[in-house]
Amino acid sequence: MARHRGRGIASINYPVGMNLGGDPSQALVHSNPSGKFTVALSSIDLGQGMKSVTRQICAETLGVPVEDVYVDTADSDTGPHCMGSFASRGTHRVGNAVMAAAKEARGVMMEAAAEELEVNAADLETDGRGNIHVKGAPHRSISTKDVAIAAQFKQGKTISGRGIFLVPLSNVDPETGEMSPATCYAHACLVAEVEVDDETGEVAMVRMDSAYELGRALNPRLVEQQLVGGAWMGISHALYETPEPVYPDPAHGPRDFVEYLMPGPGDICPHDIAVLERPAADGPFGAKGPGEMCANPVLPAVANAIFNAVGVRIDDLPITPEKVLRAIKAQGGARPQARR
Amino acid sequence: MLELRKDLFADERDDNLKEIGKGTQRQDMLGHVTGTSTYFDDHKLQGMLHLKVVRSTHAHARLRRIDTTEAEHSPGVRRIVRGADVPRNLNTLLSLINFGKDDEPSLAVDKVRYKGEPIVAIVADSPREAYEAMAKVRVDYEPLPTVFDVEEALKPGAPVVNETYPKNTFTYYDVYDHQKLRFGDVERGLAGADHVLEQRYQMSPIEHAPTETNGSIAAPDTNGRYVVYTSTQALFFSVDTCAKILDVPSNTFHFIGGTVGGGFGGKVDTLTEPLCILAAMLTGRPVRYVLGREEEMQYGPPRGAERIYIKDGVMRDGRIVARKVRAYFDSGAYTRLSSYAAVKCAAHLPGPYTIPNVYGDIYCVFTNRTPATAMRGFGVTAVDFAIECQMDKLAHLVGMDPMEFRILNAYRDGDMKAHRREAKNTALIECVQIAAEKAKWPLREEFKRASSRQGGGGDRAVVPSTPRETRPQPATASQQRTSYDRAPAASREPPPPASSPPPAPPRPPAAPSHGATRFSSVFGTRRR
């Protein structure tokens, strides 16, 4: 009777966005007379950070500080249409719509500034700190606040912009499945190390090392939150969760968090993550979407690590101690594979 | 610990940006950490009523009689809502994009198809009074044979779960009972392989387990409109689904989402809003409908189970030459979104690898269980589990290191993918290399030097010749639009009298009806 360690790997890719009927999102951006911008969306922030990421995209595109942008979401009267927050589409689709709207608003802002400074708009640039100045002549400068006041009360211009990003409908060929399901793909590879108790069948996570390629980490801390949390969900899917523990028999379904198994704080493990950025041609600043795919490599990596540890293949999820123990007994004991 | 590997693909990026790439604090952080962020359920409205749903106790049964007489006289009950009260009591979510047939009632009328299916809704002054009235509803069931296994459901003579799809499978393109993927000659590939490995994988259902359960609050607003506070993940999906089911123009509603207390795909189904708004229309009062934890866990839609068979042909040198996949998505009693997951799954095959012969048959199967829906990694998570376990077994079979085996077979820029689009912007090889580096997993030099940007295209860019199959005649004439507005069994029963005369739902005379015509406000009238 012993505990055996093993390592397993998995590598995956993941499509960004859905495409079954076309996949659009819209955004509106406008400035108030103080040069503070509002982004109006009907899109939903699920906690993943949609508001924060679109805010950074808008600020970068406008050339103003992030503090000067506020993102308002989730209102069907004020926010233009969005398909919804699913399919890892938020950053890519909504981000692109916000970028388009911010570009249009920036155009008006620069024209208004040009009129105030009596120069050509093409000769102006933003400093990202709330000022617009003549290229190569920082002293010939005007604040975005003064531009907004002038646009509103003097020039009669609306510093605003409309944006839409649409991935058009791709028909699926019924015979071959030929289709354009996505415009870009995120990638990942994950190594899981586990410890398997051949007396109880229990699997303990030891550590994970991973590399995720996401196009561009627009906000690395939000990316980290997604990847760490998503990998926990992967552990949970691999080893614990199901509302139908004896599927396909629907009996014995859990009714609350006492009966529904999930890993507790003591069941998770250190996770060392590398983020790669290969920009997507059509992503906002190259971004793809880290949302969904971060859980996916964990499930097979854990299953493969269990094989490496004790020599049994569990092909039915979740990999419960009962399944591991039965498989070990069926093969006459643990058979650790080559340590790697 | 997160490390940004700026050294990779640096030539493809402009890193000289001001706001992008910074770990700026979240806009909503202060609200979250001080407990002041607003959720849909933070709206306690004056005179708000509470809606609870009486659910089927059988997985499959004919409804002989639904007797609500005693419940109507239960203290605090304002209204009992039945299937006949729902203007369009049959819907399927993806009808918004003209995909699939209406197959699911808001409230069951003639038959229940899964345990927990809503039958009547009680609207009462308090949750407690609603629960007490629920206990007084008498439902006379005639149990029917059930089927819970996806492969059993496809056998001749299996109980018909959902009469809209009598073969217990979703109908693709009016012709097929599954989604196909055909690329190259998989049988020839298998015949020429040094090893063939066929395996079966099973993903069980999974609960989204959000901290905040599904729910909504609907209230009559001025000018005949209704304001709806909701936990939805897809605001306009919910708006338009409600407009269709309640047969009113979409601008009847002002939907306000909030901070969502956990979505993961479980809040795309517009589960509570239609009944909640209907109850507000029928009573003229604000109504709150929130799932309890047991309802969320057992009758709220889960990630669906998937059964996946993979048959691979591999050469001694590690090249995979054929991959044949047959997968069954357990949709439960109704379609919801599983039909789409099967398409997404087909597009995902054979995983991030370049394999010259790929074949997929993906079935969306109906069984007598809670309808499944989207969840993180929809259509892909389970197939990735299957593919990556299979990859490990294949590497073992040919005696290769599993990391090197993946790099050998990885797709690269310029390769032709099985859904017949060129691979671009790929980075699988680099992910494997960096993960190996982090895990101190030794790779041989040639695999360390491999690149996603080299070695692709050429012969690998070609769509291989693919055997043609004979196409069957369409089983039904064109894609069905809703064939009946109100369920026949329900329309025979007069709706129970309301405790107070309800205000009529607003119906501007010029507005077109939203029902059987194609969806309007979102997608125009385009047909697939």
CA distances B31 to A42, A251, A282, B26, B27, Å, are 20, 41, 33, 10, 9
Task: Select from B89, B90, B102, B162 the least CA-distant residue to B481.
Answer: B102
* Residue from B9, B12, B24 to probe the interface with A (highest A Cβ count within 10 Å): B24
| Total count of domains within chain A | 2
Contacts B95 to A, Cβ<8 Å = none
Question: Domain range spanning residue A231?
Answer: 3-15+182-330
**CA-to-CA distance for B322 and A134, rounded, in angstroms?**
61
Given CATH 1.25.40.10, say whether it is the number of domain B49-144+209-300.
no
Q: Is the pLDDT of residue B7 over 50?
A: yes
Q: Which residue blocks in B44-149 are alpha helix, DSSP H?
A: 69-72, 127-134
Verify that A237 and A113 share a domain, yes or no. Answer: no
Verify that A156 and A230 share a domain, yes or no. Answer: no
Verify that A102 and A161 share a domain, yes or no. Answer: yes
Tokens of A110: 């620069």
Percentage of chain A modeled with pLDDT above 90: 95
Q: Is the pLDDT of residue B515 over 50?
A: no
CA distances A57 to A53, A226, A258, B126, B266, Å, are 6, 18, 42, 45, 28
Helix axes A298-310 and A220-239, enclosed angle (nearest 10) = 50
- Name residue, tokens 């409109």: B225
Residue A35 maps to a domain: yes
B347-350, Cβ contacts within 8 angstroms, sequence gap of 24 or more: B347/A15, B347/A177, B347/A179, B347/A181, B347/A182, B347/B181, B347/B419, B348/A15, B348/A181, B348/B379, B348/B380, B348/B383, B348/B384, B349/B181, B349/B323, B349/B325, B349/B383, B349/B418, B350/B320, B350/B323, B350/B325, B350/B387, B350/B418
CA distances A146 to A109, A125, A129, B110, B268, Å, are 11, 15, 14, 67, 44
Q: Is the pLDDT of residue A32 over 50?
A: yes
What confidence category does residue A19 fall into, taking pLDDT thresholds of 50, 70 and 90? confident
Instruction: Tell me where in chain B the CATH 3.30.365.10 domain(s) lie.
Output: 153-206+302-461
Q: Is A191 near chain B, with CB under 8 Å?
A: yes
Tokens of B468: 């043609």
Task: Select from B485, B51, B80 the least CA-distant residue to B244.
Answer: B485
CB distance B297–A243 less than 8 Å?
Answer: yes
Average pLDDT over residues A1-22: 92
Measured in degrees and rounded to the nearest 5, phi and psi for residue A65 equal -65, 150
| Span B97-106, pLDDT tens digits | 989 999 999 9
A222 vs B525, residue with greater confidence? A222
Residues forming beta bridges with residue B257, ordered by sequence position: B230
SS3 for B197? Answer: strand
Verify that A283 and A190 share a domain, yes or no. Answer: yes
Average pLDDT over residues B315-328: 98
| Span B61-106, pLDDT tens digits | 999 999 999 999 999 999 999 999 999 999 999 999 989 999 999 9
* Residue from B237, B392, B409 to probe the interface with A (highest A Cβ count within 10 Å): B392
CB distance A247–B204 less than 8 Å?
Answer: yes
Task: Select from B455, B388, B39 the least CA-distant residue to B229.
Answer: B39
A86 vs B206, B234, B256: nearest CB = B234
Verify that A102 and A124 share a domain, yes or no. Answer: yes
Task: Select from B132, B127, B125 the least CA-distant residue to B47.
Answer: B125
Contacts A187 to B, Cβ<8 Å = 352, 426-428, 430-431
Q: Is A102 near chain B, with CB under 8 Å?
A: no
What confidence category does residue B475 fall into, taking pLDDT thresholds of 50, 70 and 90? low
CB distance B441–A340 less than 8 Å?
Answer: yes
- Name residue, tokens 């491999």: B450
What confidence category does residue A123 fall into, taking pLDDT thresholds of 50, 70 and 90? very high
What confidence category does residue B185 fall into, taking pLDDT thresholds of 50, 70 and 90? very high
Tokens of B424: 């671009």
Measured in degrees and rounded to the nearest 5, phi and psi for residue B134 equal -55, -40
Residue A52 maps to a domain: yes
Q: Is A339 near chain B, with CB under 8 Å?
A: no
The residue type found at B319 is: R
| Span A230-271, pLDDT tens digits | 999 999 999 999 999 999 999 999 999 999 999 998 998 999
**CA-to-CA distance for A211 and A301, rounded, in angstroms?**
13
| Span B486-511, pLDDT tens digits | 333 333 344 444 444 444 544 443 44
Residue A78 maps to a domain: yes
Q: Is the pLDDT of residue A79 over 50?
A: yes
For residue B484, the model assigns a pLDDT of 31
B393-397, Cβ contacts within 8 angstroms, sequence gap of 24 or more: B393/A313, B393/B197, B393/B199, B394/B195, B394/B197, B394/B312, B394/B314, B394/B320, B395/B318, B397/B195, B397/B197, B397/B314
Verify that A200 and A310 share a domain, yes or no. Answer: yes
CB distance A66–B19 less than 8 Å?
Answer: yes
CB atoms near residue B528 (< 10 Å): 12
Residue A336 maps to a domain: no
Task: Select from A16, A18, A35, A38 the least CA-distant residue to A27.
Answer: A38
- Is the ipTM reported for this complex over the cut 0.90? yes
SS3 for A13? Answer: strand
CB B341 within 8 A of CB B94: no
A9 vs B6, B402, B411: nearest CB = B402
Nearest-Cα residue of chain A relative to residue B185: A176
Verify that A235 and A152 share a domain, yes or no. Answer: no
Contacts B264 to A, Cβ<8 Å = 46, 233
CATH number, position A69: 3.30.365.10
Residue A176 maps to a domain: no
**CA-to-CA distance for B452 and B389, rounded, in angstroms?**
23
DSSP string, B258-286: ---S--TTTT-S--SHHHHHHHHHHHSS-
For residue B517, the model assigns a pLDDT of 33
Q: Between A and B, how many CB-CB pairs are < 8 A? A: 433
B425 vs A63, A171, A184: nearest CB = A184
Q: Is the pTM of this model over 0.80?
A: yes
Task: Select from A321, A248, A291, A187 the least CA-distant residue to B203.
Answer: A248
CB distance B435–A210 less than 8 Å?
Answer: yes
Q: Is the pLDDT of residue A90 over 70?
A: yes
Averaged pLDDT score across all residues of chain B? 91
For residue B522, the model assigns a pLDDT of 36
Enumerate residues 475 to 514 of chain B having a beta carbon within 8 A of any beta carbon in chain A: none
Select from A166, A196, A217 the last residue of a domain.
A166
Contacts A216 to B, Cβ<8 Å = 13, 20-21
Verify that A39 and A160 share a domain, yes or no. Answer: yes
CB distance B203–A317 less than 8 Å?
Answer: yes
Q: Is the pLDDT of residue B368 over 80?
A: yes
For residue A340, the model assigns a pLDDT of 80
Instruction: Tell me where in chain B the CATH 3.90.1170.50 domain(s) lie.
Output: 49-144+209-300
DSSP string, B424-448: -S--HHHHHHHHHHHTT----HHHH
The residue type found at A216 is: R
Residue A147 maps to a domain: yes
CB atoms near residue B200 (< 10 Å): 12
Contacts A295 to B, Cβ<8 Å = 376-377, 381
CATH architecture of B153-206+302-461: 2-Layer Sandwich (3.30)
